C-alpha cells in the first residue's frame, strides 16, 4: 500500500466518519428513541385558580410534581430533582418545572424556595409553583390516568413528563414494572438510571422536530 493511498484513506475516514455518526444518531433518534405517549390530552393548568401567571403545559416540556399539603417533607425530593434534572436541562428553551401544591402551604413553599436559592444556589426562573385547591389537584392528577395514587395530603413523590401537546410520556416496556408513568423523586437511582435518559430522549425528539420544521421552511 503506497504512502499516498494511506494518506488519502486516512483523510477520507476523518472526513466521512463524523458525517456517518451524525446520520446514524439522527436515524436512531427518529426511529428507535421515541418516548411513548401513555395518556393524551391531560388537563392543562393555564386557567387554574391560583395560576397567577397563566403557566401552561402547552408548548412546553414540563416536569410536573404534585406536592399537595406535604411541603415540609419535600426538601429531599426538591434537591434530588434540582441536582439531577433541573440543573442539567434548564437551559433548554421550553423546559420547565411545575409544582402543584395546596394553597394553604404558601409559607412552607417560600421556605423551601429559600433553601433552594440560598442553600444550593438554584436559579428558580423555570420553577413554577402553582397554589390551588385540593379538588383541583385531584382533577389534574386524575387526568394523567396513571396507576399511581395521591396520599391523604394530595401528594405523591412521583413526578411526570408532559410534552408540548399535553401528553403524558413514560415507558410501556420498563424492565421493572412494565408501565412507568412517573419517576420516584425520592430515589436518586431511579432519577439517574431512568428519568435522566427519558428527559434526554424527549428533548432530542423536540430538537429533531425543530430541525425538520426549519428544513421545510427553508425549502
- pLDDT at residue 31, rounded to an integer: 42
Closest CA to 138 of 178, 100, 189, 176: 100
Q: What is the mean pLDDT of residues 77-84?
A: 95
Q: Does 28 share its domain with 119?
A: no
Q: Does 20 share its domain with 91?
A: no
Task: Decide if 102 contacts 154 (C-beta within 8 A).
Answer: yes
The DSSP string of 129-157 is EEEE-HHHHHHHHHHT--S----TTS--S
Q: Does 116 share its domain with 192?
A: yes
Q: Does 154 share its domain with 170?
A: yes
- pLDDT bucket at 209, cuts 50 / 70 / 90: confident
- pLDDT at residue 208, rounded to an integer: 84
Centroid of chain to Cα 20: 30
In the chain, the number of structural domains is 2
The domain that holds 110 is classified in CATH as 3.40.30.10
Is the pLDDT reported for residue 2 higher than 50? Answer: yes
Query: Residue 118 CB: number of other CB atoms within 10 A?
Result: 9
Q: Does 1 share its domain with 102?
A: no
Say how far apart CA 33 and CA 198 lie, in whole Å.
Answer: 9
Q: Does 82 share its domain with 58?
A: yes
Q: Does 20 share its domain with 122?
A: no
Q: Does 28 share its domain with 52?
A: no
pLDDT by residue (tens digit) across 135-173?
Answer: 999 999 999 999 999 999 999 999 999 999 999 999 999
Is the pLDDT reported for residue 100 higher than 90? Answer: yes
Amino acid at each position: 500500500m503506497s504512502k499516498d493511498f494511506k494518506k488519502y484513506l486516512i483523510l477520507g475516514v476523518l472526513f466521512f466518519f463524523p458525517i456517518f455518526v451524525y446520520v446514524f444518531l439522527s436515524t436512531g433518534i427518529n426511529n428507535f428513541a421515541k418516548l411513548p405517549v401513555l395518556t393524551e390530552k391531560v388537563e392543562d393548568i393555564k386557567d387554574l385558580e391560583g395560576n397567577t401567571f397563566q403557566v401552561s403545559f402547552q408548548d412546553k416540556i414540563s416536569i410536573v410534581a404534585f406536592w399537595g399539603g406535604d411541603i415540609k417533607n419535600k426538601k429531599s425530593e426538591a434537591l434530588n430533582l434540582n441536582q439531577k434534572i433541573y440543573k442539567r436541562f434548564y437551559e433548554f428553551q421550553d423546559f420547565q418545572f411545575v409544582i402543584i401544591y395546596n394553597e394553604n402551604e404558601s409559607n412552607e413553599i417560600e421556605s423551601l424556595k429559600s433553601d433552594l436559592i440560598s442553600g444550593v444556589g438554584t436559579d428558580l426562573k423555570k420553577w413554577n409553583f402553582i397554589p390551588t385547591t385540593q379538588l383541583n389537584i385531584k382533577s389534574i392528577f386524575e387526568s394523567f390516568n396513571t396507576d399511581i395514587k395521591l396520599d391523604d395530603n394530595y401528594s405523591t413523590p412521583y413526578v411526570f413528563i408532559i410534552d408540548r401537546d399535553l401528553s403524558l410520556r413514560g415507558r410501556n416496556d420498563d424492565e421493572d414494572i412494565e408501565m412507568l408513568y412517573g419517576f420516584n423523586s425520592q430515589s436518586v437511582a431511579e432519577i439517574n438510571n431512568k428519568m435522566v435518559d427519558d428527559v434526554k430522549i424527549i428533548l432530542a425528539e423536540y430538537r429533531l422536530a425543530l430541525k425538520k420544521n426549519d428544513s421545510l421552511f427553508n425549502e
